[in-house]
Amino acid sequence: MLLFWFAMTLMLAMFLWSFFLNRTLLRPGTFVLFSVLFTVHILLHWRVNWVEKHRRWLPWYVLVQGFLAFEITFLSGNIGMIFCLFMALIGETLALFRITFGGILATLFFLGLAMTNFVLLAGLQQAGWFALGTIPMTIFIGIYVILFSRQAEANARARKLLEELETANHQLSEYAAQVEDLTLAAERQRMARELHDTLSQGLAGLILQLEAADAHLAGGHPDRGRAILQQSMEKARATLAEARQAIDDLRRPASPDLVEAIRQEAAHFSTSTGIACEPLVDLEQSIPEAVAEAAGRAVAEGLTNVARHARAQKVDLRVAGKESGLVIEICDDGVGFDPEAIQSGHYGLLGMRERVRLAGGSLDVRSAPGQGTCLTVRFPLEAVVYE
């Protein structure tokens, strides 16, 4: 833009200077013709951006501007007007066409008109001076336009990249908010599962026992009512202990080492329940942190389900990590159950299956009434945890 204003100022100065050099331009007819041609020439320069957007008009723009510059220069009789008008057109054309066949052809067209103007005004004997002055100037203008165009294109790409980065940053902010919402929702679901398996089920059992005790007391059987109250107090203590254990599981951070995490879970399980659990861990390769965390949580939830429902005496815990993936087996000698008869609202096994699925793994349950239960969890090593 600065170069454009410089060229316009130089043209206006040359226009006024022409009246000083050539008094015949002050004649009314010549003055009007010269001024109109010069005004049209300047206005076309102002519309060059429109021409650039509608490139089918570029050849006509070059032809019209070339002949306008030729006629203006011829009327003015000012040799300086040749360099002022035609060099500006050459620079403008190279900016529009770049160094292409069209740009070179337009440059040669303007140089030919300028040479003709120079010969008509100064004579054929001075043509060498024209070449000596225009060739270096044309080369300089070409180099300058190329460098300027590249800088303008680089600035345009930088602005576009900045806009794309701002858009990407905005999208990442939205995605981060969505991930945070999903994480909070997943954590709320996990807490709901924990509370359901402890407080909800425990309190439901207490209500039934208290209703039975009330019925016996109202029916004149105080001994039976007191016995049921004793059982209710024991149930309340057990429910409180399970609730505290669930809170401890929620608060306890996951260990970054899978082997250490499994040993901690097994030791915590044995201490809390008195059920023997000796883990057997065989890891042939390192486990990604995300998979290790998901596996540790799966072991914790599996052992918690055994403590709450299995009434087992022994638990076998085996963990094997190979190239094909990570396999975890949790088998007990408890009462067992029918996997097909599990109610949809039972959060223990349902919650574990959901956590394993979110981690990219799979859960297989083998059990039957009176035959114990065996849970098999498989994680591919490329599993990604989403919570």
Other beta carbons less than 10 A from residue 200's beta carbon: 15
Q: Concatenated DSSP letters for 310-358?
A: I--SEEEEEEEEETTEEEEEEEE-S----GGG--TT-HHHHHHHHHHHH
| 3-state SS assignment for residue 52 | helix
Q: What is the model's pLDDT at position 375? A: 92
- pLDDT tens digits, one per residue of 177-192: 787 777 667 667 766 6
Q: What is the model's pLDDT at position 273? A: 79
Residue-range domain boundaries for the chain: 2-122, 255-387
Amino acid at 9: T
Between CA 381 and CA 358 the distance in angstroms is: 14
**Which of 116-120, 135-139, 264-268 is least confident?**
135-139
Q: How many residues does the chain have?
A: 387
In this structure, are residues 374 and 366 in contact, taking their beta carbons and an 8 Å threshold?
Answer: yes
DSSP summary character for residue 344: T
- pLDDT tens digits, one per residue of 271-291: 777 888 889 988 877 777 777
Q: Kind of pairing, strands 314-322 and 276-283?
A: parallel
DSSP summary character for residue 254: P
255-387: CATH superfamily: Histidine kinase-like ATPase, C-terminal domain (3.30.565.10)
Between CA 130 and CA 86 the distance in angstroms is: 13
Task: Give the helix ranges, DSSP H, for 98-126.
Answer: 101-122
**Mean pLDDT computed over 87-104:** 77
pTM above 0.85, yes or no: no
- pLDDT tens digits, one per residue of 267-276: 878 877 788 8
